[in-house]
Amino acid sequence: MSAIDRLFENLRAEKRKALMPFITAGDPDLDFTADVLKQLDACGCPLCELGIPYSDPIADGPVIQASYTRALDRKTHLADIFEMTRRVAPTLSMPIVSMVSYSIVFRRGIASFVAEAQAAGIVGAIVPDLPVEEAAPLAEVCRREDFSLIQLVSPTTPRERAIRIAESSTGFLYYVSVAGITGERTRLPADLAENVAWLRARTSLPICIGFGISQPEHVRQLAPVADGLIVGSAIVRRIAQADRQPRDQVLAQIADYIRQLLGALES
């Protein structure tokens, strides 16, 4: 049983849902990334998604793309990210999951990437550009090592294909709320709950919803149908202020925002 399996088993037993923040490693630098991870943990987030900067992100909107560019411009490398998480992860209650392009995994070597990530305290990977038809080699290593491989299902995924994706995934299933790219939205699709309910009837994996979630009302709306909610652009946008405002102030703003979302999740 992986760390994520245990987490969601405990959350279900406690009738709780997971709020999963997304942040970009190295934006504006890895020291601040470490501080944000500690802040999110202190707020009570059960899980965090850490984006590995990549020059050609497949589904990220302008806010997250810009954060990747800032991190890459400052020469943020995978080895440096792993060194940071190796130091920070043991101090956290929440597990860390990476969001990573398959090209990075492949270039590192599948077994080597998984081993290095685990040694650095990372418990799983979301790989958005890995087609299910090509996922078997990575899925095999991840299952053997109890390292979760989280894959994505979108509203446009054919249903037969969605089932195949669920069968090759471990940890949880990432359900993309909208067809398009990441980013804050005022409204979510009317058929979102229905689509998630269809998927839930066909997999035992926890289902976490991402893309577009940014407001406490979104959290209240989706909590009944999801096991977890992923919030990225709204947090990354706040982190972007760290070069223009005192960093303690930015951390306080992030904490206040996260507490609002956690309050909505529990209401």
Dump pLDDT digits (tens) for 84-133: 999 999 999 999 999 999 999 999 999 999 999 999 999 999 999 999 99
Q: Cα–Cα distance between 147 and 3 in angstroms, integer?
A: 8
Q: Cα–Cα distance between 162 and 203 in angstroms, integer?
A: 10
What pLDDT, on the 0 to 100 scale, is given for residue 266?
A: 85
What pLDDT, on the 0 to 100 scale, is given for residue 188?
A: 59
Alpha helix positions (H), the chain: 3-13, 30-43, 62-73, 78-88, 102-108, 110-119, 136-145, 159-168, 192-200, 216-222, 233-239, 247-266
Q: How far is CA 188 from the centre of its chain?
A: 19
Backbone torsions φ then ψ of 189, nearest 5 degrees: -60, 145
- Which residue, 120, 96, 114, 127, is CA-closest to 23? 96
What pLDDT, on the 0 to 100 scale, is given for residue 180?
A: 46
The number of domains in the chain is: 1
Is the pLDDT at 267 greater than 80? The verdict is: no
Residue with tokens 């504006």: 28
Across residues 209-216, what is the average pLDDT? Answer: 87
Is the pLDDT at 196 greater than 80? The verdict is: yes
Is the pLDDT at 221 greater than 90? The verdict is: no
What pLDDT, on the 0 to 100 scale, is given for residue 143?
A: 96
Confidence of residue 179 (pLDDT cuts 50, 70, 90): low
| Positions marked active-site | 49, 60
- What does pLDDT average to over the chain? 92
Residue with tokens 């894959």: 151
Confidence of residue 60 (pLDDT cuts 50, 70, 90): low
Task: Please give the C-alpha separations between residue 31 and each of 67, 163, 226, 239, in angstroms, as whole numbers.
Answer: 15, 40, 33, 13
CB atoms within 10 A of CB 179: 11
Backbone torsions φ then ψ of 19, nearest 5 degrees: -100, 120
Tell me the CATH number at 121.
Answer: 3.20.20.70
Confidence of residue 173 (pLDDT cuts 50, 70, 90): very high
Across residues 9-17, what is the average pLDDT? Answer: 96
Name the token pair of 251: 């951390």
> In the chain, how long is the greatest CA-to-CA distance?
50
What is the domain range of residue 59? 3-266
Q: Which residues sit opposite 48 in a β-bridge? A: 96
Residues 6 or more apart whose Cβ sits within 8 Å of residue 202 = 162, 163, 166
